[in-house]
Amino acid sequence: MSREGIRELQSKRLQETVRRVYENVPFYQKAFQEIGLEPGDIKSVDDLSKLPFTVKQDLRDNYPFDLFAVPKSELVRVHASSGTTGKPIVVGYTQNDINNWADLMARCFAMAGATKDDTVQIAYGYGLFTGGLGCHYGAERLGATVVPISGGNTKRQLMLMQDFGTTVLACTPSYALYLAEEAVHMGIDLPASQLRIGVFGAEPWSDNMRKELENKMGIDAYNIYGLSEVIGPGVSMECQCKNGMHINEDYFIAEVVDPETLEPLPYGQKGELVFTSLLKEAFPVIRYRTRDISVLIEEKCDCGRTFVRMERVAGRTDDMLIIRGVNVFPSQIESVLLAIGETEPHYQLVVDRKGAMDDLEIWVEVSDKMFSDEIRRLEELERKLRNEIQSVLGISAKIKLVEPRTIPRSEGKAKRIVDKREL
Ligand code: DLL
């Protein structure tokens, strides 16, 4: 489609979306009224910047279903992702939303060169996380053979990959690297296997990591981006030029704004990604601030597609970490530590990559009294913290209890995170 055609389509769908949220979601109606905006004021994408932003806190304030634009009986699915507090953020889908998402994800797999003749092993987590089921419906829509194995169980993944003749692997890049290394240990020659495509995303990774994965697995590895709030995986996807991810602009409008002033930035400038959904029924979003930093590329791609591209995500404007594909906020860890209460409120998160796996170590100061106590008591505390972190965050972490006054004190913002990963 020409750029002109895309703009026209977006303008039409934007008007419908604005009307839908105004009529069905009290939160948006109020936000529009506060700035004196009527749905009729939005006539085209040129009017986008008149609309208010939406942020993660708005999702939390309206937990669980108050931002939905349809009655609950119209929902056929919900997904959720971790937030900064104990409660997750919740998103919903109507049957049309699920069908659209499946089309979108089928398009993403096709962009990487997959067809109905492929066998797609989906090793993203199934469940409330959007990765597993999002890819699942898309690969089925493409007509491929889906192996819905979910994450983990690495030896079994590798065995089935060979036995079933898997040709496409969908998982996080860090899990792909783990699979590649484990294959070597098991004496499996992945480059000689039928595997040919990787669809990797849900966490930041680099071009060096791409090369590494491509060599170790004998595949072409493609970057896929998305977030639960906007739909899940499939917001953007690389084509075979591997030169930035094409944003599916018939479903979403992308903007990049200055994270401080919130002014929209021209193509080519780095800033925070903001998305507006164009077709979603259950959970439409207006100018959702992702906190992800990237750049939009307008130049036409060699593949011939006319959708703008976004560069790899270069970081975040908040302190969210992604560890083994799971979104983790330091504040969640802090609240676990404070709830247990036998440590000092001084802690640091040390993130590293050991081989293929992200490794999270939590350094916590214990009190003078505790420190002079029996080893058994310290071990007991360590175990308690480890279990509690596992149950709240859903990932394992090593706990390192340190002597009082050893974690550097800050004079401004505390440096809670030491990220040693070279992504
Ligand atoms: O991670 C959706 C997804 C699943 C995308 C499978 C791709 C593949 P959330 O759990 O809501 O959704 O996390 C969204 O993950 O705001 C980014 O910070 C980060 N992220 C997702 N994809 C990429 C990527 C899914 N390709 C958050 N590169 C987003 C860098 C990514 N970061």
| Number of other CB atoms surrounding residue 395 within 10 Å | 14
Q: How many helices (H) and strands (E) does the chain have?
A: 11, 21
244 lines ligand 1 (CB under 6 A): no
Confidence check: pLDDT of 415 > 80: no
**What are the tens digits of pLDDT across the range 68-82?**
999 999 999 999 986
- Is the pLDDT confidence value at 10 over 70? yes
Q: pLDDT tier at 371 (50, 70, 90 boundaries)?
A: confident
Preceding omega of 64 cis (within 30 degrees of 0): yes
CA of 192 to the centre of ligand 1 (A): 30
Read off the pLDDT band of 234 (50, 70, 90): very high
pLDDT digits (tens, 9 = 90+) for 139-192: 999 999 999 999 989 999 999 999 999 999 999 988 898 899 899 999 999 999
Which residue has a Cα nearest atom 9 of ligand 1? 227
CB 123, CB 149: distance < 8 Å: yes
224 CB near ligand 1 (under 6 Å): yes
Q: What is the mean pLDDT of the chain?
A: 93
The CB of 385 under 6 Å from ligand 1? The reply is no
What's the gap in Å between 206 CA and the centre of ligand 1?
14
Q: Does ligand 1 come within 6 angstroms of the Cβ of 101?
A: no
With a 6 Å cutoff on the Cβ, whether 82 touches ligand 1 is: no
Tokens of 421: 């990963």
Could you tell me if 207 and 256 are in contact, meaning their C-beta atoms sit under 8 angstroms apart? no
Mean pLDDT for 228-241 is 98
User: pTM of the full predicted structure?
Assistant: 0.89
- Please give the distance of CA 151 from its chain centroid, rounded to a whole number: 15
Residue 319 CA to ligand 1 centre (angstroms): 15
Q: Which helix (H) or strand (E) holds 395?
A: none
| C-alpha 40 – ligand 1 centre gap (Å) | 34
Binned at pLDDT 50, 70 and 90, residue 83 comes out as low
Per-residue pLDDT, averaged over 333-344, amounts to: 83
| Residue 118: pLDDT band with limits 50, 70, 90 | very high
pLDDT tens digits along 288-298: 999 999 999 99
What is d(CA 298, CA 255) in angstroms, rounded to the nearest whole number?
A: 12
Alpha-carbon distance of 206 to 421, in angstroms, equals 11
| Residue of 237, 292, 312 to mutate, ligand 1, most atoms within 8 A of C-beta | 292
Q: Summarize pLDDT for 179-230 with one digit per residue, the tens.
A: 998 999 999 999 999 999 999 999 888 888 899 899 999 999 999 999 999 9
8 Å CB contact between 65 and 92: yes
Residue 323 Cβ < 6 Å to ligand 1:
no
Ligand 1: residue whose CA is nearest its atom 12: 227
Which residue's alpha carbon is at the smallest distance from atom 14 of ligand 1? 227
Quick check: 84 pLDDT over 60?
no
